[in-house]
A and B are shown apart, each in its own frame.
Chain A
Amino acid sequence: MITVASLMDQAYGVSIMNYITKEADRNVNISAIHEVLKRLERKGLLKSKMGGATAERGGRRKRYFVLTGNGKKALEECMKQKIQLYKKVPNFSLKSL
């Protein structure tokens, strides 16, 4: 979801996959990404629209994804929680790591 947000209006299947590979150094399969996107959309956290055709895809259109209002809120909630939890970690324990 963060990826979708950071890619702004360039988020579609392949670009998301490449982004994750590049940034998170994780190999993910394209079909897995489709699956996740579909689920998020169904939950109403993402919305999508079909983009223009490009030659490299054999004339097929891309489906671009953007966050919905709900999606943004959920993302913020999620991050806030994580950061809050992170802040509770005492300094010394971090240092010892």
Chain B
Amino acid sequence: MNTHPPQWASRFLEWYCNPDLLEEIQGDAYELYEERLKKSKRYANAKFVLDVIRFCRWSNIKRDNYLPGSSAAIWNLNFKMAARNAGKNKLIFVIKTSGLALAMAFSLLLTAYVVNELTYDHFHVNYDRIYRISSKINFSDHITHYAVTPLPIGRELKEKVPEVENYTRFMYEDKPIYTSIDPKNSQIFHDQRTLSVNSTFLKVFTYEFLSGNTHALNESNKLVVTETTALRLFGTVNALGKLIHLDKHIPLEVSAVIKDVPSNTHLKFDALISWSTFDRNDEWDNLNAYNYIVLREDASIEAVRAKLPKVLATFQEEVAKEYNATFEAPFEKIADIHFSGFLDEDIAEKKNKNDLFLLSAIIFLFVITGLINYLNLTLAELTSNLKKIGVVRVFGGFTGGHKKILISETIIAMLIVLPLAALLFYLSWRSAADYFSIQIDKHVLMSFWFVSISAGFIFFLFASTRINSYLLSKVNHVVLSLKGKLSTSQSTVPIRKFLVGMQLSFCIIMIALVFIVVDQFHFIQNSDKGFDSHHKLVVKFRSGNYSQITTFNEEIKKINGVAGVSISSYYPGMVESKYIFHVESEKGMLELLVPMMNCDYNYIDVMGIDVIKGRNFKEEYSTDIKGAYLINETAAKEFGWKDPIGKKISGPYETDGHEGEVVGLLRDFNFTSMHNKIEPLIIFHVNQDWGVQYVYLNLDPLHSADLIPTIEKNFKAQWPELPFEWEYLDSRYMSLYQKDYEMKNIFQTGLIISILISCLGIFSISALLASLRTKEMGIRKVVGAKAAQLFALHIKSFVQFLFISMLVAWPLIWYLSDQWLKNFAYHIKISIWYFIFPGLIVLAITLLTSCYHGIKSAMVSPVDTLKYE
């Protein structure tokens, strides 16, 4: 019979138990086991396991070299010593803890940001099974990729492909106007991003309901609002059942209130209207809806792709016949939408994944440098405490004595660092949202990745303090430590030099990147856009009635302070409209899809766009209203025209039998952001058939403060029920670069912090080096070295590894900045100064921070240093 107790339990005991206590505990357990065997083996086994578990308490686990008597006192002493050290070197302690806290807080913030970006749309329960369908149309000479799709595509896929579990689709409601139902107090709301969605929308995507459920949109004339929208429209969150009018005549009843949509989603909205509220052309040729499908759990998207041609066959034929183009419908996981390229009519914000990798690298460097600093400073301090440790050991401390001091010091430091870091993190998180417009959703803070990474940081921190205790444990001889010698420190200095060198190159990289980023922004702001965006005001219209707007313009023109008024269909950053134009070429008329806009006689003058050849639209020429075109230089190049004046174009007028010719060539102006290349552009004159959307006003730079209220009064006189919406053109342009501003802000903050941390790093390593070379300096001085020479000697070592770190930094600067600048179609050239300046700045910083110890070691009297032992 097997008389052993369960092996695993025994092994478990051996694993956790302090080896000093193991023998007696195991012995007792075995003895009891043998005794209980007499009853039954099962009983004995169970009891043994129970015993093992009950022995598993902290006092049996911890490994201290416990000896009766002095130990507790020594532990107390350790804490006292740690606290006293902190109190003695207040400056260093403050630098040490605040530096670490700063680095921790900043890297946590960056981590939160990166996690936030990487988990876009992950809050939907089925996020890895939801795919968005897009439409890719291949014309003979170019491809257009739309985010919108033919209306029926999702439904057809669900019906004909068994792998598709569900689908949903929605359309954007263009500029909805809500009016409250109460006739006495009729209020107008117009800023709500509204989607009209079909009934499955709330089942496919996951939102938190405050009231109502996923069936809320099954009927027509239903409205689902977010918490904030409910507050704005109805003044209460309990809006269930309340009524409101859309566009004055469509009654809507609130059937559910959901929590605000998290900020990390591509699909942002304030209100949802049920699909069946509106009559729609539900045919394949209506390419206006956003379609999403959910796969069955066991299905793969490949299977759906394989079956797609069958579903699309008839439509593809149609497209081929009508447009001479092929139609494809690529699928895209919703989690990937945030990172993919921008599609036409896309609703998602896009982010470059490269940026995030860049940020991750920065996080890593921050954590490392923060830790290196902390360790360096602690070690530098400890070397001066070696004697104390020696004395403690003489009085009955243990070889691990310094470990305990380190541990207690770490604990004390952590008690300060962790709350401080948490506080800093919280503050920066709040201010990031307020001042830098960096949205980090609060759910991210609870997410698995964020929590585990921050736990990793803390673990890293504690683990790294063991490095120091490892270094110190090499000082085994009491005599050595009494002498205050850190015998092995010579061999660790190169490692530390290397680490500080790394830190320096990091600092150089940051400075260079910030230079480049800031310069690029200046470039954008000051570059010649081809027109003048200063002192321009844009008034937006929802429904452009041409004659009404013309009268409005006449009124406005009379106001003192308005220098010019013009009309245009174009607005920076809006989805531009493209139309198929027929343009003259050597091979006959070519069919091309070209961006277009329309404007009136004044637009070109008001905007200050140069006419290179030909003329602007002029009132004297009656044909200009229909049948005259202006094109830009890029268009002339694209169409292969040397002299574009008089060339034939026919396009949107074609329906009314008009064909026109080019009357003027405009200098290229940048009508989107600098991220994009200038595209060809065809401009024609506004008329009754094309709605007017924007009125551009050229304001007198010295206009009076009540100018805008005056304009508003005029506007209200014309359209009392419409909201007066306006914007300065300058600020509109800046908002096109918001994502870049985020990067810029992150880099700038990062720069300040990295410079701070590097200063601390240099300071600490110079302290360490100075303390190691005290005697050497003393001897040199006795032999006849001057203070200046000693100072130079101290500085020399820093300059050396500064050069090495510069060599490391340069290729990285080049690579990273190149990657970032690729995002812009128009960007600055990288000059040699971006490499040299940061180096010089860091050199200055290095000299400044290291000279404290340099001067100290140079000025000290050799008598003091030589009796150092």
Contact = CB atoms under 8 A, between A and B. Distances in A.
Given A31-B57, A34-B55, A12 B28 contact: yes
A73 interface: no
A14 B68 contact: no
Interface stretch (B29-37, B82-90, B134-142): B29-37
Given A35-B59, A41-B68, A61 B27 contact: yes
B23 interface: yes
Given A41-B68, A60-B23, A61-B23, A34 B30 contact: no
Contact of B51 (A12, A29, A47, A57): A29
A60 B21 CA distance: 12
B237 to A, nearest CB: 56
A58 B27 contact: yes
Contact of B32 (A14, A61, A62): A14
Main secondary structure of the interface of B (DSSP, over half): helix
A35 B57 contact: yes
B24 A12 contact: yes
B36 to A, nearest CB: 11
A80 interface: no
Contact of A31 (B54, B66, B69): B54
Contacts of A34: 21, 24-25, 28, 55, 60
A61 B21 CA distance: 11
Contacts of B72: 42
B27 A60 contact: yes
9 contacts: A12-B24, A13-B24, A29-B54, A30-B51, A31-B57, A57-B30, A57-B31, A60-B23, A60-B27
Given A38-B59, A57-B31, A62 B69 contact: no
Nearest to A68: B68
Given A31-B57, A42-B66, 16 more contacts: A13-B27, A14-B28, A14-B32, A29-B51, A30-B32, A32-B54, A34-B25, A41-B68, A44-B68, A44-B69, A47-B68, A50-B23, A56-B30, A56-B34, A57-B27, A58-B27
Size band of the A side of the interface?
20 to 34
A63 interface: yes
Contacts of A35: 57, 59
A48 B29 CA distance: 19
Contacts of B54: 29-32
Interface string A12-41: 111001000000000001111011001001
Given A61-B23, A62-B24, A31 B30 contact: no
Nearest to A38: B59
A11 B672 CA distance: 90
A74 to B, nearest CB: 15
Given A31-B51, A41-B68, A14 B24 contact: no
B26 interface: yes
A17 B66 CA distance: 24
Contacts of B57: 31, 35
A60 B51 contact: no
Interface in B1-48: 21, 23-32, 34
What is the interface of chain A mostly: helix, strand, loop, or mixed?
A: helix
Interface of A: 12-14, 17, 29-32, 34-35, 38, 41-42, 44, 47, 50, 56-58, 60-63
A56 B24 contact: no
B574 to A, nearest CB: 75
Contact of A13 (B28, B34, B60, B66): B28
Contacts of B29: 30
Contacts of A42: 66, 68, 72
A62 B24 CA distance: 6
A44 to B, nearest CB: 6
Nearest to B28: A13
Contacts of B26: 58, 60
B494 to A, nearest CB: 45
Contacts of B66: 42
Contact of A30 (B28, B59, B68, B69): B28
Nearest to A44: B68
Nearest to B10: A58
Contact of B27 (A32, A44, A62): A62
Contacts of B34: 56
Contact of A63 (B24, B30, B51, B55): B24
Contacts of A29: 51, 54
B14 to A, nearest CB: 12
Interface string B745-788: 00000000000000000000000000000000000000000000
A50 B55 CA distance: 20
A57 to B, nearest CB: 4
Contacts of B28: 12-14, 30, 34, 57, 62
Contacts of B21: 34
A91 B72 CA distance: 47
A43 B28 CA distance: 23
B16 to A, nearest CB: 13
B68 A61 contact: no
A34 B32 CA distance: 14
A63 B29 CA distance: 13
A47 B28 CA distance: 18
Contacts of A63: 23-24
Contacts of B23: 50, 60-61, 63
B54 to A, nearest CB: 4
A86 B51 CA distance: 38
Contacts of B59: 35, 38
6 nearest A-B pairs in the assembled complex, by CB-CB distance: A60-B27, A13-B28, A57-B27, A31-B54, A63-B24, A31-B55
Interface in B496-544: none
A44 B66 CA distance: 13
B349 to A, nearest CB: 60
Which of A17, A60, A62 has the most B CB atoms < 10 Å from its CB? Answer: A60
A63 B21 CA distance: 10
Nearest to A29: B54
Nearest to A33: B28
A44 B51 CA distance: 27
Interface in B46-102: 51, 54-55, 57, 59-60, 66, 68-69, 72
A34 to B, nearest CB: 6
B181 to A, nearest CB: 73
A32 B29 CA distance: 13
Nearest to A63: B24
A12 B66 CA distance: 19
A61 B60 CA distance: 17
A72 B518 CA distance: 81
Nearest to B56: A31
A58 B59 CA distance: 24
A41 B34 CA distance: 28
A18 to B, nearest CB: 9
Contacts of A12: 24, 28
Given A14-B31, A31-B57, A60 B68 contact: no
A42 B24 CA distance: 17
Contacts of B25: 13, 34
B24 A61 contact: yes
A60 B55 contact: no
Contacts of B60: 34
A41 B21 CA distance: 13
A62 B30 CA distance: 11
Given A35-B59, A38-B59, A60 B24 contact: yes
A61 B26 CA distance: 10
Nearest to A64: B24
Interface in B783-807: none
Given A31-B57, A34-B55, A60 B30 contact: yes
Contacts of A13: 24-25, 27-28
A31 B27 CA distance: 12
Contacts of A58: 26-27, 30
Nearest to A37: B24
B812 to A, nearest CB: 57
A31 B57 CA distance: 9
